[in-house]
Structure 1
Amino acid sequence: MLLSDHLIILPILLPLATGALLLLFDERRRVLKALISAVSVLMLAIVAVALLRLADADTGTPTTGVYLLGNWPAPFGIVLVLDRLSALMLTLTAMLACASLFYSLARWHKSGPHFHTLFQFLLMGLNGAFLTGDLFNLFVFFEVLLAASYGLVLHGSGTLRVRAGLHYIVINLAGASLFLIGVSLIYGVTGTLNMADLAVRIPAVPEENRMLLEAGGAILGVAFLVKAGMWPLSFWLPTAYMAAAAPVAAIFVILSKVGVYIILRLSLLLFGAGAGASSGFGEQWLLFGGMATIAFGAIGVLASQAMGRLAGFSILVSSGTLLAAIGLAEIEVTSGALFYMVSSTLTISAFFLLIELVERAQDPAADILAVTREAYGDDLDDEEEEEEVGVAIPATLAILGICFAGCGLLLAGMPPLSGFIAKFALLTAMMNPEGFGAGGVIPAMIWALVALLILSGLSAMIAMTRAGIRTFWAPIEGTVPRVLLIEIVPVAFLLLLCLAITVQGGPVMRYMEATARSLHAPENYIRDVLSAPRMPAPAREAHQ
């Protein structure tokens, strides 16, 4: 077996080994722990890019990489599956991890114990959730990432952070319980938890058991919709993300996309066109729930006075757009939604990092709207007095203003950046009469969704313009914040990634279209997983 054949499992083993290794060092050796963690994340990014190239290899027919743990064939053994979608999510996670971790090295990693260990275990859970090919191990990795996120959301100090963190823990524990109930019902009806095997067995489920199957699917869907933040299950998200430390909130942006990823994967694999009587199950709920989430998020964006809450509600707009696109179940819409997911995730993550830098220039005593001081705790001044790593950058306000303007353009979907390309691709696909029109007439719900997408962009533009004027043009205090190079580089890195996918819009969209086609026609995925060959046993030498 070649070394390249083991690349699929490295995104799980690398953070697992790193997190375990970091437990051997106490908190006084922060420099060494930071160095080990940074090297691990950089290696993870290299592996993720290599897997992305592997998944996009031009072999003539779509192929799926399958890794059999313990050399047990599917559906009996544990399998890891690499396709274009999972490779995309691994790469996106690695990019956010690099930005968040290096940003935290300025001071945030010193604000509480075991930050690097929790960060690595969070990456392990995320990568495992994207790679696993069965629901049981999806539950295992889901619990790993949740357990790590509980520690990270409470990282630091402050009354608001503790309160919001406890709410976050309770909500996600409830979601995990629903996950387990849904998985149990599905297993009781089908007798398997392997995703590919489920896709084969669901069409043959007897009619008297179909209600239990769909009940299990619905409960499982609710568990992930809580994580994705669909209205009305999203009441906890803006406050929790606003209260979290800046690098934690930045990496947490991908957590909402875990729910979206699993819903996209399972809805098309288990309840797609080949699911028999259960074909299309839940699509209408996703469509209308996504539209309601867009409306709720847009209203929240307009009503938000603190930039942290603005970013939190922007996550809801992003999740609602993706859920509505999944509910439409069209290849062109799915490809546009995948492009939008990458652009919005990078943008909101950069915005969370930028907020903490921008708000250093504000005087919380003079500005009653700067509520994020409570999120950082009463000992913020003490934290600022600690020794920080790095060199302060010149022309601070100019650089922060440019980054803020970039975030505003991306969130609003204004040309010429990737946010505009993503929304243009979505709107073009929705306005295609061949996909949705009956006799060339586009349904009213499509017009309503188009209007919501346009209005959500308008609300983001208004809110960002208002926040920019208050922060940069008419500040109450003229204080210039001290921003370190190690803090602004991660923000610029994420925004430059958005610029890169803008410049390379053609190749990126081609990848998204290929990903969408494979998701809507999962026959190759099912065949490759269930027919993955075991590795031959090593030859034994005869002893005569």
Structure 2
Amino acid sequence: MMSWSHHLIITPILLPMATAALLLLIDERNRTTKALISLVSILLLAMNAVVLFRIESGPNDFENVYLLGNWAAPFGIVLVIDGLSALMLLLASLLAVASHVFALARWHAVGAHYHSLFQLLLVGVNGAFLTGDLFNLFVFFEVMLAASYGLLLHGTGTLRVKAGMHYIAVNLVAALFFLIGVSLIYGTAGTLNMADLALRMPQMEPDRLMLMEAGAGVLGVAFLIKVGMWPLCFWLPGAYSAASAPVAGMFAILSKVGIYVILRLTMLLFGSGPSAGFGADVLLFGGIATLVFGTIGVLASQALGRLAGYSVLVSSGTLLMVLGINDGIVSSGALLYLVSSTLTIGAFFMLIELVERGQDAGANVLAVTMEAYGDGEEHDMAEGEGVTMPGTMAILGVCFAACGILLSGLPPLSGFIAKFAMLSAMMGTGSIGTTPGAAVWTLIVLVIFSGIAALIAMTRAGIRTFWGSLEGTVPRVLVVEVVPVMFLLSLTLLLTIEAGPVMRYMDATIRTLANPAAYIDAVRNAVVIEGWGPGTGAKAGGSL
């Protein structure tokens, strides 16, 4: 019989699903009750993710494969937990805690069924990280998208509705590409189980393999749309900047779902064999174009929301480039960069709502005009004249400076460590020991330049917001709003302090991904429980 701890694998899906159903039965007027139930569920989800992460980060004989319905693979549905999925579950749950607490101040009460939609979003995100077959990946992808539609439209305003309509249309197209790609793969290979696909692909005839790769290419388009690869990214900055602050903060993880799936399938299906390196050039050059486009957008943005939206594209472009390089040492640093940038962008979206509170909508445009043409009222500052920095603005300013340091990759925080790990590996130092070519040097220059651009943009925005504000008013900020921002930024500080153990975990995770045989054996050797359900066997699950 399986141990109770084995059920922790399915808990990240069942817990938010049950919570969402329960919250639908409670009247919308009982917002406090709904908020409390949702908060308890998310905290339990975070605790579960921490336990799974600790299990995966140390030596153990934990059974990593969960057979739903007690059906063996490849016929049954399987959930698989390994170092990568445990890391992503932990990241999503920590971001969910911060986003939900931030929403408790006021955002959860400006529309109906906010908490149920939030819980369903977690069902889709966690399911995508855990599933071991492509069909259920499509199911969880659709659950995630359906919930994100409602969350993006949560609240009021013409801009939000317009951006929401664009978001829905683009992602419906992505879902269509997903379904077409899955259908092609199933029609060619006869299976959608990822481990079984990895076994069958080397045995395919050339013509069937071409159809299989075509299906994978169509499937990849769906995730590249979600990642925001250029030229599929024009919807993202507008949609993310129009969302409410807690929703935009949670949306920081959605683009990483696409990165996760691309990384998983690349290492599992296209890491070796006749299709080795499939799509690498598309990821490499697409990542370069995305990084350039995002960097230009960061420099051109005057509104902080747009700046954060383009920062998502900079993060996606950097990660896509690394996936295109397909080097294990570089990928280890990229995993740290993924975690650090997600936490930073999530905190930044929530911080923007606080620092812009009380500002006039046209203040930033007017400030830029005055910078260019002057206000005609320049005078020398008299003794004792100046602007005081109240406590609230001081706290917000420190958080803003931390976001700027992290986004630009300046020392000493985790953004610098992640970029240093990637760049040093690209340059041939450390354990690679190879001389980089012209293409790699181009990537190095682009990563450095994107950091400089982020520094310029954040410095300009910080001066305009904190030192040159036209209103001169101090926003009213609740403790429940500033604590989530500080919590996410403190996690980046923890990543900095524990950089050694964190990088060892990332290295071990990439080594496991680079050895797909362990994943395949764990899924294929997982057998059903004897005397229970439809199957018979000796034990449940398998170990990676």
**Equivalent residue, structure 2, for 1:379:** none
Three-state SS of the structure 2 residue aligned to 1:360 is coil
Residues 31 and 84 of structure 1: is their aligned pair in 2 closer, same or farther, counting only changes over 3 Å?
A: same
The equivalent position to 1:481 in structure 2, one of 443, 450, 475, is 475
The 3-state SS of whatever aligns with 1:67 is strand
Query: CA 1:369/1:332 → structure 2, altered by over 3 Å: closer, same or farther?
Result: farther
Deviation at 1:534, TM superposition (A): 1.2
Residues 443-465 of structure 1: CA deviation (Å, up to 9, x unaligned): 11100000000000000000000
Q: Which residue in the other structure is 2:28 paired with?
A: 27
Which amino acid is 1:41 matched to? I
Offset at 1:485? 0.1
Contact 2:131–2:137 under 8 Å retained in 1: yes
- Contact kept? 1:292, 1:320, Cα under 8 Å: yes
Partner of residue 356, structure 1: 353
**Deviations, residues 342-384 of structure 1 (Å, cap 9, x unaligned):** 000000000000000000142225443699xxxxxxxxxxxxx
How do residues 381-460 of structure 1 correspond to structure 2 at under 5 angstroms? 395-432=391-428, 440-460=434-454
1:337 equivalenced with 2:330 (yes/no): no
Contact 2:427 / 2:435 at 8 angstroms: preserved in 1? Answer: no
**Letter of the structure 1 residue corresponding to residue 100 of structure 2:** L
The residue that corresponds to 1:375 in the other structure is none
1:90-110 deviation digits (Å, cap 9, x = unpaired): 000000000000000000001
Amino acid at match of 1:136: F
Contact 1:102 1:487 in 2 (8 A): yes
* Matched-pair contact (CA < 8 Å) for 1:64–1:83: no
1:285 aligns with 2:282: yes
CA separation of 1:538/1:151 partners in 2, compared to 1, >3 Å: closer, same or farther? closer
In 1, the alpha carbon distance for the partners of 2:348 and 2:276 equals 39
Q: Is the 8 A contact 1:8 1:82 kept in 2?
A: yes
CA contact (8 A) 1:350 1:495 kept: yes
Aligned counterpart, 2:212:
213
Check whether the contact 2:295–2:454 (CA below 8 A) recurs between aligned residues. yes
Q: Classify 1:369/1:270 alpha carbon distance in 2 versus 1 (closer, same or farther; 3 Å).
A: farther
State the partner residue of 1:244: 243
Residues 302, 503 of structure 1: CA spacing in aligned structure 2 closer, same or farther, 3 A cutoff?
same
Query: One-letter code of the match for 2:393?
Result: L
1:27 aligns to what SS in structure 2? Answer: coil
Distance 1:426 1:133 in 2: 29
RMSD: 1.6
Give the Å deviation of 1:64: 6.4
1:112 counterpart residue number:
111
SS at match of 1:350: helix
Residue 365 of structure 2 aligns to a residue whose secondary structure is: coil
Q: Which amino acid aligns with 1:337?
A: A
Q: Runs ≥4 in structure 1, deviation > 3 angstroms?
A: 365-371, 433-437
The 5 Å alignment of 1:97-176 reads: 97-176=96-175
CA contact (8 A) 1:330 1:435 kept: no
Corresponding residue for residue 11 of structure 1: 12
Alignment of 1:198-237 (within 5 A): 198-237=197-236
- Structure 1 SS opposite 2:65: strand
**What does 1:499-510 correspond to in 2, within 5 Å?**
499-510=493-504
Whole-Å separation in 2 of the counterparts to 1:13 and 1:430: 41
Alpha-carbon distance in 1 for matches of 2:257, 2:13: 16
Aligned to 2:375: none
Asked whether the 8 Å contact 1:8–1:80 carries over to 2, the reply is yes
Residue 514 of structure 2 is aligned to residue 520 of structure 1:
yes
Cα shift at 1:526: 0.6
Aligned to 2:299: 302
CA deviation digits over 1:159-187, x for unaligned, max 9?
A: 11000000000000000000000011111
1:57 CA displacement: 2.3
Quick one: distance in 2 between partners of 1:491 and 1:433?
36
Residue 205 of structure 1 deviates from its aligned partner by 1.1
Cα 1:538–1:261 shift into 2, 3 Å? closer
* Preserved contact between residue 364 and residue 370 of structure 1 (Cα < 8 Å): no
Deviation at 1:223, TM superposition (A): 0.5
Q: Is the 8 A contact 1:64 1:529 kept in 2?
A: no
Question: What does residue 542 of structure 1 align with?
Answer: none
Aligned counterparts of 1:479 and 1:126: Cα–Cα separation in 2 = 39
The alignment status of 1:467 with 2:486, answered yes or no, reads: no
- The amino acid that maps onto 1:6 is H
Q: Tell me if the contact between 1:189 and 1:205 (Cα under 8 Å) persists in the aligned partners.
A: no
* 1:533 positional shift: 2.0
Q: Is contact 1:168-1:236 (8 Å) kept?
A: yes
- Which secondary structure state, in structure 2, belongs to the residue aligned with residue 537 of structure 1? coil
**CA–CA separation in structure 1 for the residues paired with 2:401 and 2:308:** 14
Do the aligned partners of 2:302 and 2:365 also contact (CA within 8 Å) in 1?
Answer: no
The residue aligned with 2:524 is: 530
Instruction: Map Cα deviations across residues 208-264 of structure 1 (whole Å, 9 max, x no partner).
Output: 212211110110011000000001100000000000000000000100000000000
What number of residue pairs does the alignment pair up? 511
* Secondary structure of the corresponding residue to residue 278 of structure 1: coil
Q: Tell me, yes or no, if structure 1 residue 494 matches structure 2 residue 488.
A: yes
Tell me, yes or no, if the aligned pair for 1:433 and 1:442 is still in contact at 8 Å: no
User: 3-state DSSP class of the match of 2:500?
Assistant: helix
Alpha-carbon distance in structure 2 between the residues aligned to 1:245 and 1:314: 17
Query: Is the Cα contact below 8 Å between 1:325 and 1:337 reproduced in 2?
Result: yes
Unaligned runs of 5+ in 2: 369-389, 534-544
Amino acid at match of 1:525: Y
Q: Is the 8 A contact 1:146 1:172 kept in 2?
A: yes
Contact 2:414 2:493 in 1 (8 A): yes
User: What amino acid is the match of 1:323?
Assistant: L
Q: Aligned partners of 2:96, 2:105: CA distance in 1, in Å?
A: 15
**1:48 aligned onto 2:49:** yes
Quick check: 2:114–2:151 contact (8 Å CA) kept in 1? yes
Q: CA deviation at 1:6?
A: 0.4
Amino acid at match of 2:71: W
Residue 231 of structure 1 aligns to a residue in which SS?
coil
Q: CA deviation at 1:148?
A: 0.4
In the alignment, the residues of structure 2 paired with residue 219 and residue 322 of structure 1 have an alpha-carbon distance, to the nearest angstrom, of 20
Looking at structure 2, the residues matched to 478 and 444 of structure 1 have their Cα atoms a distance apart, in angstroms, of 49
Larger mean Cα displacement after TM superposition, 440-449 or 345-354: 440-449
Alpha-carbon separation, structure 2, partners of 1:507 and 1:130:
23
Cα 1:422/1:365, change in 2 over 3 Å: closer
Q: Distance in 2 between matches of 1:515 and 1:259?
A: 18
Q: Which amino acid aligns with 2:392?
A: T
Distance 1:436 1:145 in 2: 39
SS of the aligned residue for 1:80 comes to: strand
SS in 2 for 1:210: helix
Letter in 1 for 2:521: R
Q: Quick check: 2:124–2:143 contact (8 Å CA) kept in 1?
A: yes
How far has the Cα of 1:76 moved from its partner? 0.7
Q: How far does residue 441 in structure 1 lie from its aligned partner after superposition?
A: 3.7
